[in-house]
Every structure is written in structure tokens, then in C-alpha cells.
Amino acid sequence: MITYSFLQHYWCFIVSLLGALLVFLLFVQGANSMVRSLGYNEEGRRLIINSTGRKWEFTFTTLVTFGGAFFASFPLFYSTSFGGAYWLWMIILFTFVVQAVSYEFQNKLGNFLGPKTFQMCLVINGLLGPLLLGGAVATFFEGSNFVVFKESMIDNLAFSPVISRWGNASHGLDALLNPWVLIFGLAVMFLARVLGILYIINNVDDKDIRSRANSRLLGAAVPFVLLFVAYLVHLLLKDGYAYDDAGVISIVPYKYLDNFLTLWPLTILLLVGVVLVLFAIGKTFVSKDYVSGIWPAGIGVVLVVLPLLLMSAWNGTAYYPSTANLQSSLTIVNSCSSEFTLRTMFYVSFLVPFVLAYIVYAWRAIDKKKLTKEDIADDHAY
């Protein structure tokens, strides 16, 4: 029998899976952030931009789907975070919109700003997008400054329409003042650069670009590994936020360490993912002829991020802690949609494998042939 609790955990899994896929697809941003260093001249830069230009819509669509799934399954989080921390989310969305515009207009007739202006916009998106998205995810563990007025959801709703309110005027930007949020955000940014390098090596058939990419791999991989390990150690040692059967939130020492031990299958998945990412980096760096590193790295990233997100919510954990009012912290129980909504969406979610199959088919069709200099001579090239 499908229980309400099962549906809450199921939709937490679906949202986490979308988040993990989004982190993998940030290779588009990672490659764009290095377009001027990987591209040896204007032709080389156009090769990189046209390579990522084939995939940027996958990233943008996954970002929108991730937000939509959160809205449908956990609406209180959506209204609290997207509505309260709107400066943080607006900057993220703005950089992605600028990215789309930059692809389309950089080499169009009448572009009075010049191609370099739009290339710089792609670089800015490549740096800020992963950094701020990583920072937003870090708040699942570090907490955010908000208050939820739970009585507004039950009584006098017409007279008190405000359900949650941000605790200060920064509306989300205050999270960046937390050094651990910045560390995790920087880890995601460098991870995106690693994935971007591995993707370019695989997708662009150009010896100069592949040589430059390989030489810059360690420069992105070493900071990523150091930052990620530092945050993981911090996470295992820090206090966490738990809730009991009555919904009361409390601070529990070593809560996330307990999650890693209790949810040991997820911990195994995470460790397998770490090994795959390190294998992809190591083999690509050592073997100059190895160009398939993006695939073990991509699978590894999904296997790392998925358990990490689930650790923030499963096993009686508050996935969006409030630093302003402990009892305002959000859990998968107190922030989810009704049982009817979750059950209806459960059956609709059976269509997801077909959507993923179409994405795989489209990806393979696009990548039948590696990108070469001849391809950017096409009128439809970016």
C-alpha cells in the first residue's frame, strides 16, 4: 500500500535526482567559464561555444524542471526559498537568461556590442551559475534566515496571506556570508569546470583544444577535491536538525554523521561516485588518448549528489533549517503537498523514463560526429 510517508520520501528522491542531474549538466557552465583559456584564438573559442551550445538547453530545462518539481511536491519550500531568498534566485535565473541571449546574438548581424561582450556574459554565467547554485544547496545543511507563520496556513488565511518571511533585507544574499556556504559553492564551481574540461575533450575534435584542456584539468580538479573534502568533513562533524513524530525540531550533534551511518546504502553510492569521478580525472590526465572521461565522471557526480541531497532530508532530518526560528525549519512532512497531489503526481512520474529516453536519443543524435572547425562555418553555428 502506498502511504503518505512513502510519497513524501519518493518525491524527495525525484527532486534530489533532478538536482543531481542538474549538477552534472553544469559542465556547460564549466566549459563556458574557461572559453578564453581553452580557446587558443577566436576560432577555438567558437568551437567551444558551439560545443556547449548544443547542450545548454538540457541544463536550462533541467533547472526549470527541478524548480517545478519542488513547487509541486514541497510548495512551502518553494514559497519560502524562492519567494524569500529571491535576490539569490533572481541572480541565478538572470545569469541563465543572459546565457541564452549570448548564444543567440553573439555572431548575429547588427550586434553592436561585439562577440566578446556576449562571450564574457557566458563566462560570468559559467562562474556565477554553479557558485550560487552550490551556495543555495549548502543552505540545506547550513540553514537560512526565515520564519514560517504556520497559523496562517490554518486560520484567517484571507486576513493573513503571508506564510513565510525572510529575516532580513538581503533576501538570500546573506547566505554568502557563511564561509561554509561559499566553500561548497566554490566546490560546485570547480566541479563544473572539471566536467566542462572533460566534456570538451570528448566533444571537440581539435588537438590544440584537447591539449590545453588536459593541461588545465588538475588546476580545476585539485581545488574541487580539497574544497569538497573540507566541506564533507565539516558536514560529518557539525550539528544537524532533526524532527520527531510530533514535528518538533531539535538540534542534534553529529546528525549528518548518523545519517551517513544509518543510510549506509546511500553512503556506498556516494563512495562509488567519488571513485568514478577520481578515476575519470586521473585517467584523462595520465592518458592523452583517453577522451571518454565525461561519462564515468558524469555518473559519479550523480551518484555523489543524489545521496548527499537525500542525507539532508531523510532519516528524520529538517532539509531547510531556519536560523531565525528553529521550529520554522522545513521537513518533508511539514512542507509537502497534500496526499492527493503527491499520489496523482506519482502516477504521472511514470512518464519520466520516456522523457529520459528521449533525452538520451537526442543527445546521441547531436553527438554522432565530433565537432570540428568545418562545423562552425555553417550559417546556423553560434
Q: What residues does 122 pair with on adjacent strands?
A: none
Q: Tell me the β-bridge partners of 251.
A: 241
Mean pLDDT across 323-334? 91
- Which has the higher per-residue pLDDT, 352 or 213? 213
For residues 74 and 63, give the distance between their C-alpha atoms in angstroms, rounded to a whole number: 16
Question: What pLDDT, on the 0 to 100 scale, is given for residue 353?
Answer: 83
Looking at the chain, the whole-number percentage of residues with pLDDT higher than 90 is 51
Contact 79, 243 (CB under 8 A): no
Please answer whether residues 242 and 316 qualify as being in contact, where contact means their C-beta atoms are separated by less than 8 angstroms: yes
Higher pLDDT, 49 or 369: 49
**pLDDT on residue 127:** 93
pLDDT in tens, 157-173: 445 566 778 877 788 88
Predicted local confidence at residue 158, as pLDDT: 47
pLDDT at 247 over 50: yes
Q: Which residue would you say has higher pLDDT here, 303 or 171?
A: 303
Q: How many CB atoms lie within 10 A of CB 330?
A: 27
Place of cell 562571450: 119
Cβ atoms of 199 and 243 within 8 Å: the answer is: no
| Prediction pTM value | 0.92
- Of these ranges, 104-108, 252-256, 347-351, 353-357, the one predicted with the greatest mean pLDDT is 252-256
Rama region for 143: left / alpha / beta (φ>0; ψ in -120 to 50; rest) = left
Work out the pLDDT band at 360, boundaries 50, 70, 90.
Answer: confident
Looking at residues 76-82, what average pLDDT do you find?
86
Q: Which of 275 and 324 is assigned the larger pLDDT?
A: 275
Q: Which range, of 40-44, 62-66, 198-202, 326-330, averages the lowest pLDDT?
A: 40-44
What's at 109, amino acid-wise? L
DSSP 114-176: -HHHHHHHHHHHHHHHHHHHHHHHHHHHH-B-EEE-GGGGTS-TTT----EEESSTTTTGGGG
Q: What is the mean pLDDT of the chain?
A: 88
pLDDT at 9 over 50: yes
Asked if the model's pLDDT at residue 150 lies above 80, the reply is no
Rounded distance between C-alpha atoms, residue 120 and residue 104, angstroms: 14
| pLDDT the model gives residue 317 | 96
Q: Which residues contact 322 (CB under 8 A, 6 or more apart)?
A: 143, 144, 145, 146, 147, 148, 328, 329, 330
The mean pLDDT of 192-203, rounded to a whole number, is 94
Residue 353 neighbours by CB distance under 10 Å: 9
d(CA 310, CA 17) in angstroms, rounded, equals 9
Does 51 have pLDDT greater than 60? yes
**Is a pLDDT exceeding 80 seen at residue 106?**
no
Q: What is the pLDDT of residues 265-292, one digit of tens each?
A: 999 999 999 999 999 999 999 988 899 9
Question: What does the pLDDT read at residue 151?
Answer: 62
What pLDDT was estimated at residue 155?
A: 55
Point out the least confidently predicted range of 17-26, 56-65, 196-205: 56-65
Backbone angles phi, psi at 329, to 5 degrees: -55, 145
Q: If you average pLDDT over residues 99-110, what whole number do you get?
A: 76
Which residues are 320's β-sheet partners?
A: 330
H or E element, residue 164: strand 164-166
Which residues are 240's β-sheet partners? 252
Q: Rounded mean pLDDT of 120-149?
A: 91
| Grid coordinates given for 304 | 555523489
238: DSSP letter: S
